[in-house]
Amino acid sequence: MGKYQLGEFEEVVLLTVAILYGEAYGIAIIEEMEKRLNRSVSIGSLQTVLRRLEKKGFLTSEFGEATQVRGGKRKRFFTVTQYGRKTMEEIKEQRLGMWSAIPEVAFK
Amino acid sequence: MNNHPPQLLLRFFRWFCHPDCQEDIEGDLTERFEKRVEEKGAFAAKVFFVLEVLKLLRPDIVRPMEGAQRLNHYGILKNHIKITLRYLKSHKAFTFINLIGLTTGILVCFFALLFVEFELSYDKYHENSEQIYRLVTDVQTPNGPRLESSSLPMAPAVAANFPEVADYSRVFLDYMIVQSDPETFMREDLAYADASVFSVFTLPLVASNSATVLDAPYDAVLSETAATKYFGTTDCLGKQLTLDGSTNVYVVGVMKDMPYNSHFRTDIFLSMKLLTEVWNPGMKDNWNAFGTYTYLLLKNKPPIASFNQELTDFVAGKVDKEQATFHMSVEPLTDLYLRAEARGFRTGSSVTGSINNVYILAIVALLVLSIAGFNFVNLSTALSLNRAKEISVRKVLGAAKRQLLFQFLADAVFLSLVAFTLALALFVLFSPFFNQLVGKPISTNIFNHLGFVGSLLALTVGVGLLAGIYPAFFLSGFDPVSGLKGKVKSGSNGHAIRKSLVVSQFFFSVMLIASTLGVYRQLHFMQNKELGYSKEQKLVLDFYMDKNIKENEKMVKQEILAIPGVTAVSMSSCVPGSTCRRYNFLVPGADGTITSFVSDLYRIDYDFIDQYKMQIVAGRAFQQELQSDIRKAIVLNETAVRTLGYADPAEVIGKPFDQKNWWKGTIIGVVKDFHFKSLKEKIEPLALQIDPSRFMFLTLDVSGSNMHDIVDKLEEKWGDFGPKRPFSYSFADQAYQAQYQSEDRFGKLVLIFASIALMLSVLGLLGLSALDTQQRAKEIGIRKILGASPSSLLGLLSKDFLLLVLVASALAVPVTFFGLSSWLEGFAYRIDVAWWLFAIAISVVVILSIVIIASQVLKAALANPIHALRDE
């Protein structure tokens, strides 16, 4: 079992970064999340979580090339680390295990 | 359309954001903003932008407090503080001496500066203080100048004739018996004043029942204190007070208490009209009856010199000149307390301070502070050996000189701040004591002086910096190689500075001790000088010209003489030490011309001269059998005779006198000069006359030990005599001493400051000699092994210090001589500055130094040399 319990928002962010493989920078992540989950996300809340995940070792990041748009500032692209991938899989298995343990009568 | 993100917010973001993530987040913000502009328009985008930036204010994103760049400095600072604390802990004696020194120095400065500030603040609280001037008269008479205030008709006439005078107010100080009920009576100092006193001066009324208080003759205005004293409440408008048992006045206003920094203070204002229209109508038009203070409110300040001349010319046409010339002048209100004469009158006087004493105290306080500062410098540099290794290591590790300078300066400032805090606590503790010492409520609450405390804090930091700057340069200048090899000689290059600082400390000490001795000698001299009359065992009763007593003179005297222990009794209008009315006399002078002279006049009875043991040097005393001796004969003192130009007192006997507007008669005797006023003033002409109608004082000679019984019996009889007067008595010698109260206070202050200065110098010397012996322990050990005796070691080690003390003393003598002589010039009768004042001061300092040095040196000289020599 993982020593670190991921929060719901953290989990979603990790998943989004994985989905956007190679293109995961701040605004892209926000837009993806807003599109898929139909909820609004502020830069502040996302960035805090990204930094935290990076500090814990779930994510790494590197700067991209500077472009004309966004005031000439570089983007920071995030990728999921090996450790991050393992944690995500663990969570997924735990959830699936729990789903399958539900007796069928429960939802009748 | 403007589609740039708001720059101010962006700058704010850049300021607070952690530098690691600043670039990409800023990019995100901009990108999002640009998209929003397209989707929702510029305004909505801007609103969102604001929200986004604010939401970024989170712990993970905001930069840490100390900033990524300064992390290193913070560390070294922590290290500095740690080392400083360790250093202070390991040199307890040094820390103690420095802390004590700085704390006392700052404390003394607190009090002295507070005192100075208070003395300088007199009368400045009036809104018009810059425009108010007091009108005064210098009267040039044949027997010297006389300084008077002004007479009642001057103010209205001057105001009517000089357009510069916007307003005026007259104040007449007096004292009277005041009653709010028939049973209790108290003597009160009070003042008659024009209604304008409340508009010329800033004296806020807390309650009044008319717009123009004091306009009617029977108006009275009380201070809050007086209102509470008489009526128990400040809500007392319309209530009645009885003056001198006969006249009723009514309270029309209650004012705030007059501040203590006022050159005159009163708790009761009566209407000037009570004096000029009811009690003494003649006074209103008498240009020669001085005693009223006149204050002029001058519009756009005229040139004072020519204004004075115009005033003199104007008044010259009005006064009765009686062979005297009148010089009018105006004095600025703010100078009255410190730079002007009191110009008092028999019934009351404004108060004056001494600007010299203010300067002296300020200087003394600064001397004490510098002695403390010098201690700091001396001990820090002397201790440098112990820090040489630390400094060298720091230098080897790359510390710049600048950083070391900062470290040592910070040490000094830190210590002075600790001292400041201690001083502040002690200040609160000692405030009541100080107020009592100076006799004024100078410091009531520290929080009333916050601005003042702020400036003292600045002063403290300044002292810390000044005291730290030399040690800082000295310590940071070490050569690291020799420091690490242990070759640095203890402050060898700081020697000259240390020596000169020790010299100045002892210079100050000798100066202060000798001055204190001088001040106390003068006080002792004044309190014990042979005055030419007897003031011992005399009880003086003031009966305020009570009719019952005055008219029953014989009966009262018999009754009082019947009290066991009372050996003599007399009545008079004045007693030595009290202020007395002055009159003009015309007498034929030695050259035959009629000479006018102004003289104090004592109205006495037949027993007075004997009782006060005055000596008749020519002619005779008054005789009861001669009817012509009542009022028509006078006895003069020697000074009066000299003023008239006679060499021999006998020549004046039998000459006629003309007391203008009063009596004519013959001079029958001359009394030997005696000091009927304070020794600060020269003896002036005096005339004695028999006149029972003017008696105010009873003088009793008392003997025996049971004074308490006598006073009790007297008070009983007092009730029987039936005066509606308080029973108030004083002892003649005590009343005499009271004249020197301000000198006495000044002496005490100087004594305290001087002792503190001496204590600090001695502490500093103690520290220095302790360090010196400690650092020469090996030398002493070797000398002992080679056969030196403790006494020769003592001589060797104390020689240096003693030489310094002697040099300091030699330098202090001329300076003190000059200072003390000029202080003494303020006294008409004074001591000589004797050589032995300095001898005592110098021996005190030398003996103390020897004791201190010996205590340190002997400890080392008597110790077993093996202890000093065994390591290495």
CB-based contact B298:B131 (threshold 8 Å): yes
Those residues with Cβ within 8 angstroms of residue B357's Cβ, 6 or more apart along the chain or in another chain: B746
Q: Chain A partners of B45 at a C-beta cutoff of 8 Å? A: none
Location of structure tokens 């007092």: B718
- Mean pLDDT over residues B404-427, rounded? 87
Residue A71 lies in a domain: yes
Residue of B23, B34, B58 with shortest CB distance to A44: B58
- The ipTM (two decimal places) reads 0.85
Which pLDDT score, from 0 to 100, does residue B133 have? Answer: 92
CB-based contact B175:B349 (threshold 8 Å): no
- Mean pLDDT over residues B826-848, rounded? 87
**Percent of chain B residues topping a pLDDT of 70:** 95
| Exposure on the CB side of residue B671, measured as CA atoms within 13 A | 27
> How big is chain B by its Cα radius of gyration, in Å?
38
pLDDT tens sequence across B73-122: 677 778 888 888 888 888 888 888 888 888 988 888 888 888 888 888 88
Residue of A30, A47, A70 with shortest CB distance to B21: A47
Which pLDDT score, from 0 to 100, does residue B1 have? Answer: 46
pLDDT tens sequence across B28-45: 888 888 888 888 888 888
Asked if the Cβ–Cβ distance from B61 to A44 is below 8 Å, we say yes
Q: Which of B303-312, B439-448, B525-534 has the lowest mean pLDDT?
A: B439-448
- Mean pLDDT over residues A78-103, rounded? 90
Residue A85 lies in a domain: yes
Q: Chain B partners of A71 at a C-beta cutoff of 8 Å? A: 26-27, 30
Measure B42 CA to nearest chain A CA, in Å: 16
* Burial class of residue B802 in the structure, from the number of CB atoms within 10 Å of its CB (0-12 exposed, 13-18 middle, 19+ buried): middle
Residue of B10, B31, B57 to mutate, testing the A interface (most A Cβ within 10 Å of its Cβ): B31
Q: With CA atoms as reference, report the closest residue to B602 among B510, B515, B699.
A: B699
Determine contact: A95 vs chain B, CB below 8 A. Answer: no
C-alpha distances out from residue B356 to B441, B522, B799, Å:
21, 16, 39
Q: Chain A partners of B44 at a C-beta cutoff of 8 Å? A: none
Q: With CA atoms as reference, report the closest residue to B860 among B768, B780, B791, B788.
A: B780
- Rounded Cα distance between B481 and B396, Å, is 9
Beta strands (DSSP E) in B66-109 are none
Residue of B23, B26, B34 with shortest CB distance to A69: B34
pLDDT tier at B729, thresholds 50, 70, 90: confident
The letter for the amino acid at B745 is R
Measure B24 CA to nearest chain A CA, in Å: 5
Asked if the Cβ–Cβ distance from A44 to B52 is below 8 Å, we say yes
What domain count does chain A have? 1
Which pLDDT score, from 0 to 100, does residue B625 have? Answer: 82
The answer to whether the Cα torsion of B786, B790, B792, B794 is positive or negative is positive
Which pLDDT score, from 0 to 100, does residue B144 have? Answer: 67
pLDDT tier at B866, thresholds 50, 70, 90: confident
- Rounded Cα distance between B484 and B702, Å, is 83
Reported as type and span, the H/E element at residue B357 is helix B355-382
Measure CA of the first residue to CA of the last residue in chain A; give whole Å.
32
- Rounded Cα distance between B296 and B171, Å, is 11
Tokens standing for residue B398: 């790359």
For residue B71, pLDDT beyond 60? no
For residue B3, pLDDT beyond 80? no
Residue A2 lies in a domain: no
Residue of B18, B20, B24 to mutate, testing the A interface (most A Cβ within 10 Å of its Cβ): B24
Which pLDDT score, from 0 to 100, does residue A1 have? Answer: 44
**Percent of chain B residues topping a pLDDT of 90:** 6
Measure B76 CA to nearest chain A CA, in Å: 28
Residue A3 lies in a domain: no
User: What is the average pLDDT score of chain B?
Assistant: 84
CA nearest to A70 within chain B: B31
- Rounded Cα distance between B212 and B205, Å, is 11
- Interface A–B counts its CB contacts (< 8 A) at 70
Residue A60 lies in a domain: yes
Measure A81 CA to nearest chain B CA, in Å: 20
- Mean pLDDT over residues B483-488, rounded? 68
Q: Chain B partners of A75 at a C-beta cutoff of 8 Å? A: 24, 27-28
Asked if the Cβ–Cβ distance from A52 to B60 is below 8 Å, we say yes
Residue of A45, A48, A70 with shortest CB distance to B27: A70
Determine contact: A52 vs chain B, CB below 8 A. Answer: yes
Asked if the Cβ–Cβ distance from A70 to B23 is below 8 Å, we say no
CA nearest to B62 within chain A: A48
Q: Classify strands B219-223 and B165-179 as parallel, antiparallel or unpaired.
A: unpaired
Measure B77 CA to nearest chain A CA, in Å: 30
Q: Classify strands A59-63 and A76-80 as parallel, antiparallel or unpaired.
A: antiparallel
Partner residues linked to B172 by β-bridges: B192
C-alpha distances out from residue B379 to B412, B418, B494, B849, B851, Å:
12, 18, 11, 17, 20
For residue B809, pLDDT beyond 80? yes
Q: Chain B partners of A63 at a C-beta cutoff of 8 Å? A: 23-24
For residue B539, pLDDT beyond 80? yes
Q: What is the CATH number of the domain that holds A81?
A: 1.10.10.10
pLDDT tier at B814, thresholds 50, 70, 90: very high
Asked if the Cβ–Cβ distance from B61 to A48 is below 8 Å, we say yes
Which pLDDT score, from 0 to 100, does residue B171 have? Answer: 93
Q: Estimate the crossing angle of helix B384-396 against helix B355-382, to 10 degrees.
A: 60
- Mean pLDDT over residues B743-760, rounded? 87
Measure A27 CA to nearest chain B CA, in Å: 6
Measure B479 CA to nearest chain A CA, in Å: 47
Buried b (16+ CB within 10 A) or exposed e, B216-248: bbbbbbbbbebbeebbeebebbebbbbbbbeee
Buried b (16+ CB within 10 A) or exposed e, B392-429: bebbeeebeeeebbbbbbbbbbbbbebbbebbbeebee
Q: With CA atoms as reference, report the closest residue to B372 among B756, B786, B809, B785.
A: B756
Beta strands (DSSP E) in B672-816 are 686-690, 697-702, 729-731
Residue of B30, B55, B57 with shortest CB distance to A73: B30
CA nearest to B56 within chain A: A44
Those residues with Cβ within 8 angstroms of residue B81's Cβ, 6 or more apart along the chain or in another chain: none
Residue of A26, A45, A51 with shortest CB distance to B28: A26
Residue of B23, B24, B55 with shortest CB distance to A42: B55
Those residues with Cβ within 8 angstroms of residue B217's Cβ, 6 or more apart along the chain or in another chain: B271, B273, B274, B277, B278
Which pLDDT score, from 0 to 100, does residue B193 have? Answer: 92
- Rounded Cα distance between B508 and B369, Å, is 11
Residue A48 lies in a domain: yes
Measure A31 CA to nearest chain B CA, in Å: 10
Which pLDDT score, from 0 to 100, does residue B493 have? Answer: 56
Residue A68 lies in a domain: yes
Number of Cβ atoms within 10 Å of the Cβ of B788? 16
Tokens standing for residue B698: 């009873």
* Burial class of residue B550 in the structure, from the number of CB atoms within 10 Å of its CB (0-12 exposed, 13-18 middle, 19+ buried): middle
CB-based contact B119:B353 (threshold 8 Å): yes
Asked if the Cβ–Cβ distance from A44 to B60 is below 8 Å, we say no
Asked if the Cβ–Cβ distance from A73 to B26 is below 8 Å, we say yes
- Rounded Cα distance between B638 and B452, Å, is 54
- Rounded Cα distance between B759 and B721, Å, is 58
CB-based contact B751:B517 (threshold 8 Å): no
Number of Cβ atoms within 10 Å of the Cβ of B824? 18
CB-based contact B388:B490 (threshold 8 Å): no
Residue B325 is classified by DSSP as E
Determine contact: A27 vs chain B, CB below 8 A. Answer: yes
Asked if the Cβ–Cβ distance from A51 to B61 is below 8 Å, we say yes
- Mean pLDDT over residues B321-335, rounded? 81
CB-based contact B695:B503 (threshold 8 Å): no
Residue B579 is classified by DSSP as -
pLDDT tier at B269, thresholds 50, 70, 90: very high
Asked if the Cβ–Cβ distance from A43 to B28 is below 8 Å, we say yes
Those residues with Cβ within 8 angstroms of residue B621's Cβ, 6 or more apart along the chain or in another chain: B609, B610, B635, B669
For residue B314, pLDDT beyond 90? no
- Rounded Cα distance between A58 and B518, Å, is 87
- Rounded Cα distance between B613 and B561, Å, is 19
- Rounded Cα distance between B181 and B173, Å, is 24
- Rounded Cα distance between B194 and B294, Å, is 10
- Rounded Cα distance between B370 and B355, Å, is 23
- Rounded Cα distance between B8 and B53, Å, is 11
Tokens standing for residue B683: 């003896």
The letter for the amino acid at B86 is R
Asked if the Cβ–Cβ distance from A47 to B32 is below 8 Å, we say no
pLDDT tens sequence across B178-232: 888 877 777 788 899 998 999 899 888 888 877 788 888 899 999 999 999 888 8
The letter for the amino acid at A92 is K
The answer to whether the Cα torsion of B300, B306, B308, B309 is positive or negative is negative
Q: Chain A partners of B54 at a C-beta cutoff of 8 Å? A: 44
- Residue of higher predicted confidence among B43 and B317: B43
CB-based contact B374:B505 (threshold 8 Å): yes
- Rounded Cα distance between B591 and B387, Å, is 86
Asked if the Cβ–Cβ distance from B32 to A27 is below 8 Å, we say yes
For residue B759, pLDDT beyond 50? yes
Q: With CA atoms as reference, report the closest residue to A6 among A79, A94, A77.
A: A94
B218: helix, strand or coil? coil
- Rounded Cα distance between B773 and B794, Å, is 11
Reported as type and span, the H/E element at residue B104 is helix B92-120
C-alpha distances out from residue B51 to A25, A71, A75, B13, B55, Å:
20, 20, 21, 12, 6
CA nearest to A67 within chain B: B27
For residue B491, pLDDT beyond 60? no
Which residues constitute the domain of residue A64? 8-101
For residue B705, pLDDT beyond 60? yes
- Mean pLDDT over residues B827-854, rounded? 87
pLDDT tens sequence across B559-584: 888 888 888 889 888 888 777 777 88
For residue B527, pLDDT beyond 90? no
Partner residues linked to B571 by β-bridges: B698
- Rounded Cα distance between A84 and A78, Å, is 12
Measure CA of the first residue to CA of the last residue in chain B; give whole Å.
85
C-alpha distances out from residue B262 to A8, B118, B175, B229, B763, Å:
77, 10, 18, 21, 41
Residue A38 lies in a domain: yes
Q: Estimate the crossing angle of helix B707-721 against helix B553-561, to 10 degrees.
A: 150
Those residues with Cβ within 8 angstroms of residue B160's Cβ, 6 or more apart along the chain or in another chain: none
